[in-house]
Amino acid sequence: MKKLTVFALAGLLVVSSIALIGCGSPEQTLISRYISAIRMGDKDTIVKISLTPVKVDLVKWKIVSKTQPTESKTVLADLKKKMDEAKKTMEKLQEDAALAKVEFDDFDAKYQKWSRARKRANRKKYEELKSKYEDLKNQFLQAKDEYTKISEEYNNEKRLMALSVGDIPELEKLEGKMYTEEIVIEGTDKEGKTKKFKFYLVRYELTKPGVSTPIRGRWVVKHIEELTE
């Protein structure tokens, strides 16, 4: 019983020491909370404060460098516009490619039944229809890839914003500011190996039409990169 108590206290001290290291600014507290959640396997906390979790398995750590917060305009509304435009372009090319395929298939069905002489006489048209379809198909596939890329970027940005300010309806219609900051930490894992990680943090402040007080979000983890020398 005493051994269990000792182990439990030791575990609490480890968690407490991590929290104390990160106490101070909201950004430091966030990193401390993230590392503690990783160590305890607290997935619920991890997904509430980070977009793409990375295993930061440190027992002790300290901040070795940090940037000043950089302010910029939120980008979700612009991404929504780009995504809608990309979707229209993709759908138009899909329709054009489908029509070109029907036109080519109809001609090809007749072409295959013709004599060699007639095929030679119509070879140019055959190649033109085939080339038109293949060109439109390739344009559609490229547009589809672009739409998928922008959609992923938009969805990630919306998820990140929701982590910061909460799940507010129609986030893409709200404007405001975003603050970004980079913090490098160095520490040791349970085997004594030294590791470095860079945390990319972001926080949002949004405004609603007709409301003077902004919605001030919290700092959240956008990305984590393990640094190797």
Helix, strand or coil, per DSSP, at residue 209: coil
Confirm if 203 and 178 have CB atoms less than 8 A apart. Answer: yes
pLDDT at 19: 39
98/133 same-domain check: yes
- The confidence band for 148, taking pLDDT boundaries of 50, 70 and 90, is very high
Q: What count of Cα atoms within 13 Å lies in the side-chain half-sphere of residue 60?
A: 6
Tell me whether residue 167 is in a domain: no
- Structurally, the chain folds into a number of domains equal to 2
- The confidence band for 209, taking pLDDT boundaries of 50, 70 and 90, is confident
Helical spans, DSSP H, in 114-206: 116-121, 123-165
Tell me whether residue 164 is in a domain: no
Q: Range of 181's domain?
A: 2-74+174-227
State pTM to two decimals: 0.81
218/149 same-domain check: no
149/180 same-domain check: no
On the question of pLDDT at 99 being above 70, the answer is: yes
Domain boundary among 156, 183, 205: 156
Mean pLDDT (the chain, rounded): 90
Tell me whether residue 29 is in a domain: yes
